[in-house]
A and B are shown apart, each in its own frame.
Chain A
Amino acid sequence: MEPPLRPRRRFRQPSVLPGFGLTLGYTLTCLGLIVLLPLAALVVRASGLGLSGIWEVATDPRVASALRVSFGVSALAALTASIFGFLIAWVLTRYEFPGRRIVDAVVDLPFALPTAVAGIALASLYAPNGLVGAQLAKLGIEAAYTPVGIYIAMVFIGLPFAVRTVQPLIVEIDREIEEASATLGAGRLHTLTRVVLPPLIPAVLTGFALAFARGVGEYGSIIFIAGNLPYVSEIAPLLIVIKLSEFDYGGACAIATIMLGISFVTLLAINLIQAWSRRRFGYV
């Protein structure tokens, strides 16, 4: 009698493309060397201050205000980018119009542009004597040198993420499900909100997370337009640079660690919502 076959390892499943061990090992090594090691070094450096030291930095009014500006404006900008990005992706995939491919290529420009160039361009546009800034000033809106400027820069750099994450899914929408919805008597708004949008939510959230993360980490394009007034329009990354130039390495690392912590928790939360929505609306 042959012994019954016993499942040996739970992770490994026979497949056409084997190589679980190799790929996992390689992935972990790369992730460790390239991502985790520098982050660990950062945390180690910051821990020189001790928990109380870090807490002291975090509760410093100027630091706290900078963190609020960074994360608050990023979230708002990512939200805006998600909505506009969705509309742009929709228009680019759903409709044929002259110049569509050019517009499609333009979407990627914020990816490629050196951030300082973007910053200078935005600053000159939105400054009180700039093309757009002058018009806004008439309406009593000060864009440059306020959090509004930071918001504009973050939307600018976050937009490509929002567009590119939803675009492939919009392409794949089966037009027949829209027709099915219409034959069942549903109006356009009902079709859009009940049939078309729900399956796209996970992708929209991915775009939001990417735009948010990019906004939090952005430096170059913001400092030119932000004005960098402490307590008003100073972002956390700039504060880090200021600390560094004052040779306060511990303080810089402490702020960086706090940013890292908040970012991680936020992105994890978005990922969890995404996983939930994918189960709920996605591929089931």
Chain B
Amino acid sequence: MTGSTAIRVENLSKTFDTAAVLHDLSLDVRAGELLALLGPSGSGKTTLLRIIAGLDFPDRGRIVFGAEDATRLPVQQRAVGFVFQHYALFKHMSVADNIAYGLNARKRSERPAKAEIKRRVGDLLDLIKLSGFADRYPSQLSGGQRQRIALARALAVEPRVLLLDEPFGALDAQVRKDLRRWLREIHDRTGQTTIFVTHDQDEALELSDRVAVLAKGRLEQIGSPDEVQEAPVSATVLKFLGDTIEVEAIAQGGEVRVDGRLTPVTAPAGLVGPVKLYARPWQLQFAESHEAHLHGTVRSSYRSQGRQRIEVDRPEGKTVVVEASDTARLPAGRPVGLRILAGHVFAG
């Protein structure tokens, strides 16, 4: 499905006023893939997307589309489709006119015939399942519908790459879920090379073929959702992909000990001495005191979707969240022991 490199980002740097937003960032986008740019706000992910689109320009570095250096190419000639978080539809135009906009904006010699434009608008309306809405105006539509129109408008020009900037950010949870699935479907059907920006790990992990995790203007890691989850290269990536529990540990000869007790976690070669062990809430288990790595007292617990989440206060003042199967509830104040089943270690 995915193949050759469609877009190459080379050593990109960008500074706004005095604050650097991108540091020497390089990235390859494969043809036909759905790539997520994931990062906290301020990580530079939107700036990177805008530079690829030609809406911003880098201080240093290059953007290459296929074999063509596009670094200085004006946005109008890049043939990208851009979808904004707040839709940016033309309010004074009907849905059909919005979708046809890019085709109508072409020079007369390159513009398809009227009937052809009409046919293409109809096809796109079918694709986004809004066939009866051609003559409506954006203000008459819901947020989810507007975003679908924005996507159809971007697809109408048959872009080389589709760029989506937090496309579901302004929508409520249920609509967001539906649209995610639907976007995945559209991508599978059209095979359109797509890059989308998000700060929502679930969204990135569910939707994308590959995830690029950005932090502070640098690329931390790029890989399939499985790769970044199973083998995160840094604590930053690990922490950003979900809730973590952070524990002081000692590494020696590949073995990792917490509170003097051996854990099943292995340390990479060369990592010796005091380290940080990170575990997910479901990588801890309640255990008898003599085989526990951590101790604490139950602060509170709640149940959700068949699982139980328990907050445990540790003696040194930190609170950890443990996820367990939904069995007997633990009363607040009960002392408990926790055993680490898995995790990752990084230098403290």
Please pick, from B90, B105, B140, B157, the residue contacting A177 in the complex, using a CB distance under 8 A. Answer: B90
Residue A183 contacts which of B82, B86, B91, B139 (CB distance < 8 angstroms)?
A: B82
Q: How far is the CA of A198 from the CA of B153 in the complex (A)?
A: 19
* CB-based contact A281/B102 at 8 Å: no
User: Hey, which chain A residues are within 8 Å of B101, CB to CB?
Assistant: 181, 184, 186, 194
Interface string of B21-59 (1 = CB under 8 A from A): 000000000000000000000000000000001110000
- Contact, CB under 8 Å: A180 / B82: yes
Contacts of A181 in B (CB 8 A): 90, 101, 105
Interface of A is mostly: helix
Are B105 and A184 in contact (CB-based, < 8 A)?
A: yes
Q: How many positions in chain A have a CB within 8 Å of any CB in the partner chain? A: 22
B91 partner, pick from A182, A184, A186, A284, beta carbons under 8 A: A284
A100 at the interface (CB under 8 A from B): no
> In the complex the two chains form, what is the Cα distance from A184 to B97 in whole Å?
13
Residues of chain B within 8 A of A183, CB atoms compared = 53-55, 75-76, 78, 80-82, 154
Contact status A184-B92, CB under 8 Å: no
In the complex, the chain A residue whose C-beta lies closest to that of B83 is A180
132-190 of chain B: CB within 8 A of chain A: 137-140, 150, 153-154, 156-157
Task: Report which residue of B89, B90, B138, B150 has the largest number of chain A beta carbons within 10 angstroms of its beta carbon.
Answer: B90
Closest to B82 in A: A183
Docked-complex contact A283 and B88, CB < 8 angstroms: no
Chain B residues near A184: list those with CB within 8 A.
81, 101-102, 105, 153-154, 156-157
A195 within 8 A of B: yes
User: In the complex the two chains form, is B88's CB within 8 Å of A176's CB?
Assistant: yes
B145 to chain A, nearest CB (A): 15
Contact: B75 with A284, CB < 8 Å? no
B79 at the interface (CB under 8 A from A): yes
8 CB < 8 A contacts A-B: A174-B86, A177-B90, A179-B84, A180-B88, A183-B82, A184-B102, A184-B157, A283-B139
Q: Footprint of A on B, CB under 8 Å?
A: 53-55, 75-82, 84, 86, 88-92, 101-102, 105-106, 137-140, 150, 153-154, 156-157
Q: Residues of A at under 8 Å CB distance from B?
A: 174, 176-177, 179-187, 190, 194-195, 198-199, 280-284
Known: A180-B84, A180-B88, A183-B54. 11 other contacts (CB 8 A): A177-B88, A180-B153, A181-B101, A182-B55, A182-B75, A183-B55, A183-B75, A184-B105, A185-B102, A185-B157, A187-B105
